Amino acid sequence: MSQSTTGHVVNGHNSSVNGVSHVEKFNIEDIPELKIPPRVLMGAGPSASYPEALRAMSSTTLGHLDPEFLAIMGNVGAMLRRVFKTQNPITGAVPTTGTGGMEAALCNLIEPGDEVLCVVYGYFSNRMKQMAERMGAVVSVVEGPWGTVVPIEKVKEALDKIKNPKLVTVVHAETSTGILHPVQEIVKLAHERGALAVVDTVTSLGGCPVYVDDWECDAVFSGTQKCIGAPPGLSPITFNARAMDRIRNRKVPVQSWYLDMSLVETYWGDSSAGGRAYHYTAPSNALFGLHEALRMTLLEGVENRWARHEMHSRAFTAGTEVLGLLPYAQEGHRLWQLATMYIPEGIDDLAVRTRLLREYNIEISAGLGSAKGKIWRVGIMGYSANRSNIFLLLGALETILGDMGHNLEKGAASEAANAIYHEYDNKKTSSSEAPIALEVDEEDAPPIGEAIPAESVAQGVAHRD
Ligand SMILES: Cc1ncc(COP(=O)(O)O)c(C=O)c1O
């Protein structure tokens, strides 16, 4: 039996004959305690988790009706409302990843035979379409080429062709392409036609402006592992009054008992109205982690956090452009939290990513679907979005690409990133304003980089700019 560098058994006595698997035989002494290697997570997700979140997750497990736990859940809901920028009472986190949040939003709002328009311009917007089809919806699709946004006129035309549209689905930040879609206009169009809008904010929440109430989004879901800074495993989700009204007045019950929001709300809802009823065992430790990630997010300030993502993204792309890595996503619609770039001619995708991981502990992501083998996707997300990670990755790319014969000027990428950081550093010393002119809530007022406890500097990986 051999072991990988992390001590995992790689050749156990695992056999299967004619599809029937036989009992594995192994010595429990041969399976070592887990020793997880350090990683700099700069792929499309997950990103690094706040140490505060990880520490909280190792606390004593609490029962799902323990008053202490209910208070924690209440705070998670309140903090999520602040991050989503909503007053929706039905705001919480379902015990699943982003895909499960997608499923929860769609299965509650779709009834068999409903006409649904899916705006599809990448891998995840296509996943919404597939789910709607499985749920028995009559699905129309308005499509745009990968790497671009779908023009609003096309969405309007597609909606006009549908007799009685019930729902429009859209991904705000398409992680397969690096595109930020103008969601607000689509939601407005949906409402004009009497449809509701479901918005995927898995990659956008916490990393760029998301205004659930101002944009009047009806159901919005996200993930914990991208710009929020907690491990994967929960999906923050929020439903407005219109959406809850639709759910409560369904003709047929939601097919999923587990994700039925009319049942979930008896556990999440207002405890003063007769207490909370058990629906499923809440994953208390996962919620502790989300609690801490949200607390850190709000200590930094939601708007400051968006500004931090923009700053590190600008620095990184200044560097990659100097390295000759051409951007993939349409100009003017590029995400801050996910840079996508073409792999240069003659450069071996897998060889680069393998060296990054083996020699630098850095994870970046390959292309998905039609972009597989053509692009790299680099996450600048949440706790991973910091100056030292940007310089580490630019330096590593420069070395590896240089070794592979790519034409580049040594040191120029870091210089280009540095020039961007200097812009911000100079602004910081010459004025007390936040570096980017963004609307700042009074409660979220601390200037960028301040109000972060020193303990939040992770082992070996600096945290903030
Ligand atoms: C935009 C978007 N939606 C949905 C998902 C699915 O989330 P998960 O992988 O957490 O299930 C992802 C994951 O990368 C995503 O980026």
Structural domains of the chain sorted by starting position, each given as residue range(s) with its CATH number in brackets: 1-37 (no CATH), 51-297 (3.40.640.10), 301-456 (3.90.1150.10)
Q: From ligand 1's centre to the CA of 235, what distance in Å?
A: 10
Contacts 24+ apart (CB under 8 A), 436-440: 436/306, 436/307, 436/310, 436/311, 438/209, 438/303, 438/306, 438/307, 439/303, 440/301, 440/303, 440/304
pLDDT tens for each residue of 89-126: 999 999 999 999 999 999 999 999 999 999 999 999 99
Mean pLDDT to the nearest integer, 252-268? 93
Instruction: Spell out which residues line ligand 1, taking CB within 6 angstroms.
Output: 44-45, 97-99, 102, 124, 171, 175, 200, 202-203, 223, 232
Mean pLDDT over each residue of the chain, to the nearest integer: 90
Question: What is the token pair recorded at 142?
Answer: 């308005």
Residue of 119, 180, 203 to mutate, ligand 1, most atoms within 8 A of C-beta: 203
pLDDT at 56 over 50: yes
Q: From ligand 1's centre to the CA of 79, what distance in Å?
A: 22
Does this model's pTM top 0.85? My answer is: yes
Return the ligand 1 atom nearest residue 44 CA.
14
Q: What pLDDT is recorded for position 70?
A: 93
Q: Where are the alpha helices (DSSP H) in 29-182?
A: 51-57, 67-84, 98-109, 123-134, 152-160
DSSP codes joined into one string, 7-67? --BSS-B--EETTEEPPPB--GGGSPPP-PPP-EE-SSS--PPPHHHHHHHTSPP--TT-H
Q: What pLDDT is recorded for position 269?
A: 72
Mean pLDDT to the nearest integer, 268-279? 71
Q: What pLDDT is recorded for position 277?
A: 83
Q: What pLDDT is recorded for position 430?
A: 54
pLDDT tens for each residue of 123-135: 999 999 999 999 9
Q: What pLDDT is recorded for position 225?
A: 98
Return the ligand 1 atom nearest residue 102 CA.
4
What letter would DSSP give residue 410? T
How many residues are recorded in the chain?
Answer: 465
Q: What pLDDT is recorded for position 460?
A: 33
Tell me which residue of 104, 147, 100 sits closest to 123, measured CA to CA: 147
Q: What pLDDT is recorded for position 20?
A: 55
Share of the chain above pLDDT 90, in %: 83
Burial of 13 (0-12, 13-18, 19+ CB in 10 A): exposed
* Separation in Å, CA 369 to CA 121, 124, 127: 12, 10, 12
Q: What pLDDT is recorded for position 429?
A: 59
Return the ligand 1 atom nearest residue 223 CA.
10
pLDDT at 456 over 70: no
Q: From ligand 1's centre to the CA of 42, what distance in Å?
A: 15
Q: What pLDDT is recorded for position 275?
A: 65
Question: What is the token pair recorded at 386?
Answer: 């910091």
Q: What pLDDT is recorded for position 24?
A: 81
Residue of 171, 175, 204 to mutate, ligand 1, most atoms within 8 A of C-beta: 175
Q: What pLDDT is recorded for position 31?
A: 95
pLDDT at 309 over 50: yes
Nearest CA to ligand 1 atom 16: 175
Return the ligand 1 atom nearest residue 175 CA.
16
Contact 50, 229 (CB under 8 A): yes
Q: From ligand 1's centre to the CA of 92, what distance in Å?
A: 18
Q: From ligand 1's centre to the CA of 11, what distance in Å?
A: 32
pLDDT at 440 over 50: no
DSSP codes joined into one string, 198-252? EEE-TTTTTTS---TTTTT-SEEE--STTTT-S-SS-EEEEE-HHHHHHHHT-SS
Tell me which residue of 218, 257, 255 sits closest to 135, measured CA to CA: 255
Mean pLDDT to the nearest integer, 379-406? 98
Q: What pLDDT is recorded for position 132?
A: 98
pLDDT at 433 over 70: no
Confidence of residue 324 (pLDDT cuts 50, 70, 90): very high
Distance between the two ends of the chain, CA-based, in angstroms? 45
pLDDT tens for each residue of 142-157: 999 999 999 999 999 9
Residue of 41, 96, 124 to mutate, ligand 1, most atoms within 8 A of C-beta: 124
Residue of 49, 99, 208 to mutate, ligand 1, most atoms within 8 A of C-beta: 99
Q: What pLDDT is recorded for position 453?
A: 37
pLDDT at 442 over 50: no
Residue 409: partners with Cβ closer than 8 Å, 6 or more residues away: 322
Q: From ligand 1's centre to the CA of 130, what distance in Å?
A: 14
pLDDT at 434 over 80: no
**What are the φ/ψ torsions at residue 206 (nearest 5 degrees)?**
90, -10
pLDDT tens for each residue of 346-380: 999 999 999 999 999 999 999 999 999 999 999 99
pLDDT tens for each residue of 279-307: 999 999 999 999 999 999 999 999 999 99
Burial of 327 (0-12, 13-18, 19+ CB in 10 A): middle
Q: What pLDDT is recorded for position 449?
A: 40
Q: What pLDDT is recorded for position 271?
A: 57
Confidence of residue 21 (pLDDT cuts 50, 70, 90): low
Q: In terms of pLDDT, which residue wins out, 30 or 428? A: 30
In degrees, to the nearest 5, what angle opens at C-alpha 161 toward C-alphas 156 and 162? 100
Q: From ligand 1's centre to the CA of 216, what distance in Å?
A: 22
Q: From ligand 1's centre to the CA of 329, what distance in Å?
A: 18
Q: What pLDDT is recorded for position 428?
A: 75
Q: From ligand 1's centre to the CA of 103, what distance in Å?
A: 11
